[in-house]
Structures are given as structure tokens and as C-alpha cells.
Structure 1
Amino acid sequence: MTAGFVTFFGLFGLLVTPIATTLKRYLPFVTVVIGLGRVVAGVLFVAGKSIYLRLPQLRSAPKSPWSMYGYGIAFAIASLVAIAGRGG
């Protein structure tokens, strides 16, 4: 599991750093767009609407080394999404 976590964040850092360095001048505009999207979602939720996402049905897998590696990657992705969701 740890190997999956480390692999994901290592590759993520290697890929995102050059892109972020190149695009950092546009970051203030991107954050405004993301903020507006969150405001729209909040207004929809307050109005009683729901946002539906079609996600695949997951089945439990046997606990093999590969499944634990995949679990580590999934955990890393979930933690990254959680950090992004609370604003950094």
C-alpha cells in the first residue's frame, strides 16, 4: 500500500511541477473559475438540487499485493482530492 502511495505522489510531483511552473501566471484566473463553479454548486445544493455522477460499480477484490498497491494509489488520489476540496 505504501509503495502505491509513494509511486502516485512521486509521479504526480514529477508531472505537475513543470506544468505548474509554466502555467503559474494563469493560476489566479483558474482559481476564480473553480470558485465560481463551487458557488454554482452551492446555490444548486441550497435550492434542493442534486448533482449526479455516473460512476462504475466496484466489486471487492482478493487481497493480493497488486490489489494493495492499487489501494495505496487510490488512497493517494483520495487524499489529494480531499486536500484540493478544502482549498489547499
Structure 2
Amino acid sequence: MVTELRAAFPPFSGEDFALYLHRVPGTYTFLGVRAPGALLTTSYPHFPDFSPDERAIGVGLRATAGWIAERTRAPRDLPDRSTLRSG
């Protein structure tokens, strides 16, 4: 089952990837890996009881392959590299 969520994700509230997305088109995706009925903390990589449901790997792989196929089928205008600033 795939569910799309649009909300803040507290364990990674300091993530700065959004800064990259201001310069280059992209996406940041969380792949849910909690087994049905398992404790919530088993799905957080930085918790000691992290125990992912490895069946999620196939879901993530298929989703990523689909996104790549979509992007290569209909190329989008990317910003000119000369407009990207460093630092």
C-alpha cells in the first residue's frame, strides 16, 4: 500500500535538503518501512530498535524507477547552470 503524506516529519526537522531544491529541481521522499503492527520506533533509522520491513525496498525501487521514467519521457526545462550560485 502506498500513502502520500504532506506534513512535517519531526525526527528530521533540521534537514536542509530544501535549500538544494531552491536551486535545482528535485524531490525528497520518505519511504515508510514499518511492518504492520510494529512499534513506530522500529521505522526510525536513528532509534536503537530500528527494524525495517525489507519488503518496502521493492516499493521504493519501483517508485523511483517510475519517477525517473516520467522525467526522461517529458524533459523539463532545468535552470541554466550559470545562474546557480555556490555557497
What TM-score comes out, normalization by structure 2 length? 0.32
Whose helix fraction is larger, Structure 1's or Structure 2's?
1
What TM-score comes out, normalization by structure 1 length? 0.31
